[in-house]
Amino acid sequence: MSSPGHTDRTRSKRLPELASHDLADLQAILDAALVAHICVIDGDQPFVLPVAFARNGDRLYIHGSSKSRLFTQLATGVSTCLTVTLLDGLVVARSVFESSMNYRSVMVLGTCRVVEGQEKAAALQVISDHLLPGRWDEARHPNEQEDKATMVLALDLNESSVKISAGPPDDVPADVELPVWAGVVPLTEHFGEPIDAPDLPVGVAVPDYIRQWKR
Amino acid sequence: MSSPGHTDRTRSKRLPELASHDLADLQAILDAALVAHICVIDGDQPFVLPVAFARNGDRLYIHGSSKSRLFTQLATGVSTCLTVTLLDGLVVARSVFESSMNYRSVMVLGTCRVVEGQEKAAALQVISDHLLPGRWDEARHPNEQEDKATMVLALDLNESSVKISAGPPDDVPADVELPVWAGVVPLTEHFGEPIDAPDLPVGVAVPDYIRQWKR
């Protein structure tokens, strides 16, 4: 796994102070996110689609329908970009110009590879463990038909960039004296109370491992 | 503004039951989101980047640095895709295969146009009003130098698709009898207590319009 921002096309020219070259940042952002946006090009038209994903070491896995246009196109090994963004807050500066958002984002460049066999089964567990920790031990695993209907793709973390925007607004000195509030309004995600499926048999309770999910 | 999913490349072939052709859904999802992911292609390499955005009628506005590679490339009128995704919950089915997420997403296809003059000033207010409601009346507006450093792009809502995945898991009948919990774990965003900028003069309080921001 290479450090973020080590190639010319992933090096931040503008606002280089937001770039991180730290593998730990790369991993932490990917591990904190539930959804990524991935691009596939058809002719000259790009399509950006949300996908569930998970990281296993220096590799990302995504899964989808074997019949999906996006997945079959990505499976051919075309160049792609997968981006993850976590919004942390609104930065309320005295000026409109300096107002912005705090965020952590990762951009991964590369090509996808179709995952089969033992790696596929392991990848499905990695994705389940990331999105629904503890669920793999209790859920019914894919049967042969479901396995065929599912495509798993791997995207190695060989080329990436990380940007982290954090902290208070950076107003110009003249603006600081304005009698106007400035600061950050934090933005956080939370899980709500689990909602039983309507067809849940009486007496089946929400398991502890689900109650422990936190964001 | 055209209904979502009215062209061949925005029509949902797989899972058409998730597609919405309702303009009200398109508008509501865009208006509820703070960040979008937009693609720009450089050679054969796509880049997917997070951008703040806002809707004004049948048009989206994004803004960024006039020197940004992404923005200067988009300004040439290349085909692009802007996608917005709101995650609403984790769908915990009895089977791994049926487990998924509830989400609302919009994909917009088109080309960007550089916005200048009066429309640019109005667009900056539209973006500010969307992200920081009420702030425009209090913040210092862009001066000439800041205006030059900012590029505003418009993307018309002529071609889009909307997908909405909601509700409980859809397990196969045989799985429903398993003694395993199933349901949805909702996911919501919240604003936290505003954090004063360290250089805030004593006695400047958080304004009411900011305290009223809700997600």
**Residue range B94-126, pLDDT digits in tens:** 999 999 999 999 999 999 999 999 999 999 999
pLDDT of B12 over the 80 cut? no
Q: Which CATH code of 3.40.50.720, 1.10.760.10, 2.30.110.10, 2.60.40.1730 fits the domain covering B8-211?
A: 2.30.110.10
**B39 vs A39, A96, A142: nearest CB:** A39
How far apart are alpha carbons A75 and A72 in whole angstroms? Answer: 5
Tens digit of pLDDT per residue, chain A (215 long)? 778 888 888 877 767 888 999 999 999 999 999 999 999 998 889 999 999 999 999 999 999 999 998 899 999 999 999 999 999 999 999 999 999 999 999 999 999 999 999 999 999 999 999 999 999 999 999 999 999 999 999 999 999 999 999 999 999 999 999 999 999 999 999 999 999 999 999 999 999 999 999 99
Q: E strands along B11-58, which residues?
A: 19-20, 35-42, 45-56
How far apart are alpha carbons B100 and A131 in whole angstroms? Answer: 9
pLDDT of residue A72: 95
pLDDT of residue A182: 98
Q: Which residue of B has its CA nearest to A88?
A: B191
Query: Mutate which of A69, A80, A97 to disrupt the B interface (most B C-beta within 10 Å)?
Result: A97
Q: Which CATH code of 3.40.50.300, 3.30.450.40, 2.30.30.230, 2.30.110.10 fits the domain covering A8-190?
A: 2.30.110.10
Residues 6+ apart with CB under 8 A from A123: A56, A61, A63, A115, A152, A154
B192 in reach of chain A (CB within 8 A) = yes
Q: Which residue of A has its CA nearest to B151?
A: A97
Stretch 74-103 of chain B: residues touching chain A, C-beta under 8 Å: 78-83, 85, 87, 89-90, 92-97, 99-101, 103
What is the average pLDDT score of chain B?
95
Q: Averaged over B156-178, what is the pLDDT?
A: 96
Q: State the amino acid at position A61 in one-letter form.
A: Y
pLDDT of residue A7: 86
Q: Chain B residues with CB inside 8 Å of A69's CB? A: 13-14
